[in-house]
Chain A
Amino acid sequence: QQQVKQSPQSLIVQKGGISIINCAYENTAFDYFPWYQQFPGKGPALLIAIRPDVSEKKEGRFTISFNKSAKQFSLHIMDSQPGDSATYFCAASRMDSSYKLIFGSGTRLLVRP
């Protein structure tokens, strides 16, 4: 019940294309869903996050879509750029208790020039 399942494991997109990464969770008590971006040799950095009271959140080229009934959420990167090449992690947590983030297994994104 604590798992967050992430797909695909790796993704190759042409510059200017749309990158889509999906995550699914089981624990309906989760109420905070962030996405982290990690470059090689660096720690993960918060990219964008959503709460279950909204179905979509957009920040620049990055959009989170959230489907509460399906227990799924996804990250869309519009107009993907080579600089977006990194590993992306989805995560989930309960804001009323443990606050610990449960991470997905990560998606390695490569944006070709």
Chain B
Amino acid sequence: EAGVTQSPTHLIKTRGQQATLRCSPISGHTSVYWYQQALGLGLQFLLWYDEGEERNRGNFPPRFSGRQFPNYSSELNVNALELEDSALYLCASSFPRTGELFFGEGSRLTVL
């Protein structure tokens, strides 16, 4: 069974540009979570989507946004990129309301 898949693996952007990251959850999982892992730091909660709706949001500015599609895949958009947005962005999925998250390998975003 395929795990959580994320694309692209690496992405290099310049300050002010926009980045789009994609995530495909494990089959049967309807919840998708996005986390930011800056170098040497822990995982910071960004967004939670369930059944196509945003259910919860972490302490990040509005330029971090996303959506969940009818097939439960998800997209994270980061507008007006800043240098400090450079990080590993991790997507996780779970069955509805179980709390047991399965993570992908992440998309590494570098902002120059």
Contact = CB atoms under 8 A, between A and B. Distances in A.
Range of interface residues on chain B?
A: 20 to 34
Nearest to B31: A99
Contact of B45 (A6, A36, A102): A102
B83 interface: no
Given A98-B55, A99-B48, A105 B41 contact: yes
Contacts of A98: 48, 55-56
B100 A46 contact: yes
Interface string B49-62: 00000011010000
Interface of A: 6, 32, 34, 36, 41-46, 49, 89, 93, 95, 98-106
B85 interface: no
Contacts of B101: 46, 101
B97 A99 contact: yes
A99 B30 CA distance: 13
B104 A43 contact: yes
Contacts of A105: 41-42
B26 interface: no
Interface of B: 4, 31, 33, 35, 41-45, 48, 55-56, 58, 90, 92, 94, 97-106
A45 B98 CA distance: 16
Contacts of B100: 34, 46, 49
Contacts of A32: 99
B54 to A, nearest CB: 12
A49 to B, nearest CB: 7
Contacts of A106: 41-42
A45 B103 contact: yes
Contacts of B102: 46
A49 B94 CA distance: 15
A49 B99 CA distance: 10
Contacts of B97: 95, 99
A44 B90 CA distance: 9
A43 B104 CA distance: 5
Contacts of B42: 6, 89, 103-106
